[in-house]
Amino acid sequence: MAKFRERADFDASPSAPYEMLPWRFTLLDQESYVATNMAGEYVLMSRSEVAEFADGRLAPATPLYDELKSRHFLIDADTDVALDLLALKVRTKLAPLANFTGLHIFVTTLRCEHSCPYCQVSRANDDKREFDMTEETALKSLDLVFRSPSRALKIEFQGGESLLNLPLIKFVVLEAKRRNQAAGRDLAFVIATNLAVLDDDALEFARQHDILMSTSLDGPADLHNRNRPRPGKDSYERTVDGIRRARRALGHHSVGALMTTTAASLSSVRDIIDEYIRLDFGSIFLRPLSPYGFAMKTKFYQSYDQSKWLDFYFEGLDYIIELNLGGFEFIEQYAAMVLKKMLTPMQTSYVDLMSPAGIAIGAIVYNYDGAVYASDESRMLAEMDDKTFALGNVHDHEFAEIMLGDALLDPLEASFASSVPGCSWCAFEPWCGADPVFHHATQGDFVGKKPLSAFCTRNMEVFRGLISRMEASPDVRRLFERWANII
């Protein structure tokens, strides 16, 4: 039997200096820095460790050296397969770009019977049909939908109150399914609705065609009805009843709900979460208020600053974590999407956290009048007379003109986080998004000054908050690993 050699005999690391692979570091707290590699894997380091590693002085065979080597922050004389693996991971993160535009939003009408002060789009309370999408516009929009390379196509109907134009929804669904017999895409439909005007006809149609329902639920009755006024002041009652009826017709998990945070919500995060649990939802998306549409006009957006929202968010997140550690499974979706980027090699399709930005290539909007917008927020800006992100019109422009026009390519290119000041050196960049629409809306620039950006402040704090929580508790890390792989 030949002699067996010892482990040190196989470690060539000390024989030559290591080579750093691209990495970045950002302050986590008083003591430590978050360092990330190109694929968004992170290691926590002290200030002196950052300096040591950056200076090329980090000694092999130390725990930190092993971690950095394992996570592809460096290669050395011992191994360089990290290059193959890192390239593969970066490709995996970027690969979905080639199959662009999975979500196609059809604004079936601007009419709505609600008059929510935070509404992000104009609404028309009259019965005039001038704010309804026509079949002709729908057909032209569908031409564009099926030009997208994405294998999966989701068509989402929005408003106003989308169901007020049910005939058009039916028309689009039937026509899309007819075209898909030849196209063979993975085709899905969602109706975004307040459920207040949900009738049996709509439910039966949704059931027949496997259409999902997505509704708004802001929390307990008093909060929801205050946020979402309608004639009769019964928005909450109608929504809850609609959820019950839709679940019975379509299946429990075919109905989703989204909440909007207002100043009135800030003190009630537990009540809001409890409301979702009471209605047997498995998750909640604790959303920030966005600076568009009526929200801007009515100064709702300015009514609370980011730190108040962050307090609200983390109070809610900690409550949800506590529920999970006690054995009740419940997910906070924003955390789950961020954690997927932090803890897995996969990417999320959440438009706000995409870079290159998700505008038009993640989701695109066909307005009732045929105008094509780069995002839902873009059409809200347009309603406020800012047409920066108006990409064209289905009646006047070809697919190539819309997708390759300067109106889209300029903001995409300008805002790409890997190359903009403030982001390119940020350790959180692999997890973050570009969001040129937000920065244009708030700072008049696709990039914006990141220290002044609420988007930047908010996300950096969310990243830090998630990391501190999972670093402090192995149970929380295990919970987060589960979330990262569920969404």
Partner 1 sequence: MITLRGRSIGFNAAAIERDSTILRLSSDERRPAPLKAREGYIHSHGDLPRGFGWYLLKSAEFIGQVPDGAPGAVLPQEFDYLGDGDVVRLEPARGGVRTLFRKASPYNHFMLTERCNNYCLMCSQPPRQIDDGWIVDEVLEALPLIDRGAAEIGFTGGEPTLLGSRFVQLVQATGSHLPKTALHVLSNGRLFAQGSLARDLAAVRHHDLMIGIPVYADLAHVHDHVVQADGAFDETIRGILALKQHGLRVEVRVVLQAQTIPRLTALARFLTRNLLFVDHVALMGLEITGFARANLDRIWIDPADYQAELAEAVGILDRAGMSVSIFNSQLCVLEPSLWPFARRSISDWKNEYMPECEGCEAKGMCGGFFSSAKYQYSRAIRPILSAAA
Contacts of 44 (CB under 8 A, 6+ apart): 28, 32, 33, 34, 35, 467, 471
Helix (H) or strand (E) holding 74: strand 74-75
Instruction: Kindly state the smallest distance separating residue 70's Cβ from partner 1, in Å.
Output: 4
Instruction: Kindly state the smallest distance separating residue 110's Cβ from partner 1, in Å.
Output: 42
Contacts of 11 (CB under 8 A, 6+ apart): 60, 61, 78
For partner 1, the binding residues (CB under 8 A) are 1-2, 4-7, 9-13, 39, 41, 66-67, 69-71, 78-81, 84-85, 88-89, 344-346, 478, 481-482, 485
Closer CB to partner 1, 42 or 285, in the complex = 42
Closer CB to partner 1, 1 or 400, in the complex = 1
Q: How far is CA 152 from CA 148, 180, 190, 346, 473, in A?
A: 9, 11, 13, 17, 38
Closer CB to partner 1, 71 or 123, in the complex = 71
Gap between the Cα atoms of 437 and 428, Å rounded: 20
Closer CB to partner 1, 10 or 327, in the complex = 10
Instruction: Kindly state the smallest distance separating residue 171's Cβ from partner 1, in Å.
Output: 39
Strands 103-107 and 363-366: parallel
Strands 103-107 and 152-158: parallel
Closer CB to partner 1, 71 or 228, in the complex = 71
Q: How far is CA 154 from CA 265, 414, 436, in A?
A: 31, 28, 23
Closer CB to partner 1, 294 or 480, in the complex = 480
Instruction: Kindly state the smallest distance separating residue 150's Cβ from partner 1, in Å.
Output: 21
Closer CB to partner 1, 6 or 280, in the complex = 6
Work out whether the CA dihedral 291, 293, 297, 298 comes out positive or negative.
Answer: negative
Backbone angles phi, psi at 404, to 5 degrees: -115, 10
Residue 462 near residue 69, CB atoms below 8 Å: no
Instruction: Kindly state the smallest distance separating residue 71's Cβ from partner 1, in Å.
Output: 8
Instruction: Kindly state the smallest distance separating residue 338's Cβ from partner 1, in Å.
Output: 16
Instruction: Kindly state the smallest distance separating residue 31's Cβ from partner 1, in Å.
Output: 23
**SS3 of residue 331 by DSSP:** strand
